[in-house]
Amino acid sequence: MEKLFLATRLMMVDIPGPTLDAATRAHLERYRFGGVCLFRKNIQNPDQVRELVAEIRSLLGPQAWIAIDQEGGAVQRVLEFALAPSPMALGAVGEVKTAEAVGAAVGRALISLGINWNFAPSVDVNTNPKNPVIGDRSFGSDPKKVARLALAWARGLEQAGVMAAVKHFPGHGDTFLDSHLELPVVDKTLEELERTELYPFRKAVEAQISSIMSAHIRFPALDKQHPATLSKKILTGFLRKKLGFQGIIVTDALDMKAISKNYSIGEAAVKSLQAGADMILSLGQPEVHIAQAAAVQQALENGSLSEEQARQSQLRLLEAALRFPGQAQPYPPAQQKRDQALMEQVALRSITAYRRPLRPRRSDRILVVSAGSTFEAGPYGETLAVKDLADLLETRFARVSQFVYDPQQADAFKSGLEQAAARADYLLVVSVGRGRLSEAETRLLKHAFTLGKRAAHIALWNPYHILSLRKPAFVTYGFRAPTLRALVKVLGGARARGSLPFKLRQNRVNL
Q: Going by C-beta distance under 8 Å and a sequence separation of 6 or more, which residues neighbour residue 447?
A: 414, 417
| Residue 268 backbone phi and psi in degrees, to 5 | -60, -45
The one-letter code for the residue type at 433 is: G
Strands 248-253 and 365-370: unpaired
Starting at the edge strand found earlier in the chain, the sheet holding 365-370 runs 352-354, 473-475, 454-459, 426-431, 365-370, 399-404
Name the strand (E) or helix (H) holding 439: helix 439-448
The one-letter code for the residue type at 397 is: F
In whole angstroms, what is the distance from residue 223 CA to residue 82 CA?
42
Burial status of residue 414 (CB atoms within 10 A of its CB: 0-12, 13-18, 19 or more): middle
Long-range pairs, 437-440, Cβ under 8 A, ≥24: 437/407, 437/465, 437/468, 437/510, 437/511, 438/407, 438/410, 439/510, 440/407, 440/409, 440/410, 440/411
Q: Going by C-beta distance under 8 Å and a sequence separation of 6 or more, which residues neighbour residue 397?
A: 360, 362, 364, 366, 491, 492
Set 14, 124, 252, 364: catalytic member = 252
Distances (CA, A) of 74 to 36, 84, 95, 340: 22, 9, 21, 17
Q: How many CB atoms lie within 10 A of CB 367?
A: 26
- Greatest alpha-carbon pair distance for the chain in Å reads 76
Strands 473-475 and 352-354: antiparallel
In whole angstroms, what is the distance from residue 234 CA to residue 249 CA?
11
Please count the residues of the chain: 511
* 465 is a catalytic site residue: no
The one-letter code for the residue type at 297 is: Q
* 457 is a catalytic site residue: no
CB 67 within 8 A of CB 210: no
Task: List b or e across 495-511, with b for residues whose CB sees 16 or more CB atoms inside 10 angstroms.
Answer: ebebebbbeeeeeeeeb
Q: Going by C-beta distance under 8 Å and a sequence separation of 6 or more, which residues neighbour residue 163?
A: 116, 117, 118, 157, 210, 211, 248, 320, 323, 324
Catalytic residues, by residue number, are 180, 252
